[in-house]
Amino acid sequence: MAKIKVIQVQDECIGCGACESTSPKLFEMKETKAHLKGSKKVKWKGKDAFEVETDLVKDAKEAVDVCPVTCIHTE
């Protein structure tokens, strides 16, 4: 099964909840920001970010598409 890496730059998150509503297996709201479930803290393009590798490819791509501030990325 194909895997995809999901990266979230949480400092850029505005807490709109769009990612959680379309991809609840990957994202959950905690306090005022979305959190990438099961992720680890990493440096991504010089920014603090959270990353997880998953086989939920469709869910990951949907989260990227609905994020209004483009703080979610895939590789």
Tell me the pLDDT tens digit for each residue of 23-45.
Answer: 999 999 999 999 999 999 999 99
pTM for the predicted model, two decimal places: 0.94
CATH of the domain at 69: 3.30.70.20
Q: How confident is the model at residue 61 (pLDDT cuts 50, 70, 90)?
A: very high
C-alpha–C-alpha distance, residues 18 and 50, integer Å: 18
Please report which confidence band the pLDDT of residue 7 belongs to, taking 50, 70 and 90 as the band edges: very high
DSSP letters spanning 54-69? ES-HHHHHHHHHH-TT
Query: Domain span at residue 37?
Result: 4-74
Rg (CA), the chain: 11
Number of domains in the chain: 1
